[in-house]
C-alpha cells in the first residue's frame, strides 16, 4: 500500500473508530476482573479497489474509474469513496457511491491543475484504499486554429480593400474573439474588432499594402492568441 493510501486509511479509521473506543473504555472500567472467553477473529475491511484510473474529460471535469472484484462482494462492501487532493489541499472526499458503481465524475476541479485521486472500499470493519493516481486538467481556454485571410475590393466601391479573416472555433467555452491587425506603419498590433463568430471582415484597407492578422479568444480564464497570417492587397 502506498503512503498516500495508508494516510487516507488512517484518517478515515480514526474518525470511524473514535465512538467505538469511547464505548470500550467505559465498559472496561465497569468490567475489571471479569473472565472472558476468546472472541472470534475480527473481520477485515474489503480489499482496495484495483485498476484505479483518472482522466480529464474537460478543464473542469475528471472521471475516476476502478474495478469491483468478488472480494468486495464477499466482504459485504457497502460502497466506495473517492478522495482527491492537490498541491494546495489535503485529502478530501469528493464522492460516495454504492458497490455497483465503478465510475465517478469530479466536477470541482480547476483548469491546468494536477490532482491526485484514490478510491476506498468501505464495509462495517473500515476502509481500504487504492494506490493514488494523478491527472492534470487542460487549460480553460484555447487559441483559435486554422487561421486564414483573403482580400477583395470593398463593397463600398472605390480603391479600397477588405480582408476576410476566418478560423476554427477551439472550444465551446469561448466568450468572444478579438481580431488584431498590424501593417508597415510601425504602430504595432491594433485591435480592429471583436465578434462571437469565427469570421471577421476588415474593411477600409489600403491597396498595395501588407497586413498581418491574429485572433485571440477571451473568456473568464484569460486570453489565448493564434499564430499570424498575412495578406497583401494588390492593385
Residue-wise pLDDT tens digits, 26-81: 333 333 443 334 334 456 889 999 999 999 998 899 999 999 998 888 878 899 99
134: its cell numbers: 494523478
CB 233 within 8 A of CB 207: yes
Domain 43-138 belongs in CATH node 2.60.40.10: yes
Task: For the chain, count helices (H), then strands (E).
Answer: 2, 16
Helix, strand, or coil (residue 66): coil
110-139: buried (b, 16+ CB within 10 Å) or exposed (e) per residue? ebebebbbbbbbbbeebbbbbebbebebee
pLDDT at residue 116 in the model: 97
Placement of cell 472470534 in the chain? 40
From 191, 184, 186, 148, select the one nearest 168 (Cα to Cα).
Answer: 148
pLDDT (0 to 100) of residue 21: 31
What was the pLDDT predicted at 193? 95
- Equal CATH topology for 43-138 and 145-233: yes
Q: Which residues of the chain have pLDDT under 50?
A: 14-15, 17-41
Pick the CATH number of 145-233 from 3.30.70.20, 1.20.120.160, 1.10.10.10, 2.60.40.10: 2.60.40.10
Query: So what's the pLDDT on residue 158?
Result: 66
With the CA atoms of 143, 144, 148 and 154 taken in that order, what torsion angle do they form, in degrees rounded to the nearest 10? -110
pTM higher than the cut 0.75: no
The domain locations on the chain are: 43-138, 145-233
Amino acid at each position: 500500500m502506498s503512503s498516500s493510501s495508508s494516510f487516507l486509511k488512517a484518517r478515515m479509521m480514526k474518525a470511524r473508530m473514535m465512538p467505538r473506543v469511547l464505548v470500550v473504555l467505559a465498559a472496561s472500567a465497569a468490567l475489571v476482573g471479569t473472565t472472558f472467553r476468546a472472541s472470534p477473529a475480527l473481520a477485515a475491511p474489503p480489499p482496495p479497489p484495483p485498476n484505479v484510473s483518472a482522466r480529464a474529460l474537460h478543464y473542469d471535469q475528471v472521471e475516476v474509474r476502478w474495478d469491483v472484484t468478488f472480494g468486495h462482494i464477499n466482504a459485504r462492501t457497502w460502497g466506495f469513496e473517492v478522495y482527491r487532493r492537490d498541491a494546495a489541499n489535503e485529502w478530501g472526499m469528493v464522492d460516495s457511491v454504492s458497490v455497483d458503481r465503478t465510475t465517478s465524475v469530479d466536477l470541482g476541479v480547476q483548469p491546468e491543475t494536477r490532482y491526485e485521486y484514490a478510491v476506498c472500499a468501505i464495509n462495517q470493519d473500515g476502509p481500504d484504499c487504492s494506490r493514488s493516481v494523478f491527472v492534470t486538467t487542460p487549460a480553460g481556454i484555447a487559441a483559435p486554429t486554422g487561421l486564414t485571410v483573403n482580400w477583395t475590393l470593398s463593397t463600398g466601391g472605390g480603391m479600397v480593400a477588405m480582408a476576410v479573416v476566418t478560423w476554427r472555433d477551439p472550444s465551446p467555452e469561448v466568450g468572444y474573439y478579438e481580431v488584431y491587425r498590424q501593417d508597415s506603419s510601425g504602430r504595432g498590433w491594433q485591435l480592429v474588432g471583436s465578434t462571437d463568430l469565427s469570421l471577421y471582415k476588415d474593411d477600409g484597407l489600403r491597396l498595395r499594402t501588407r497586413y498581418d492578422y491574429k485572433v485571440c479568444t477571451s473568456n473568464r480564464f484569460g486570453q489565448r492568441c493564434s499564430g499570424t497570417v498575412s495578406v497583401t492587397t494588390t492593385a
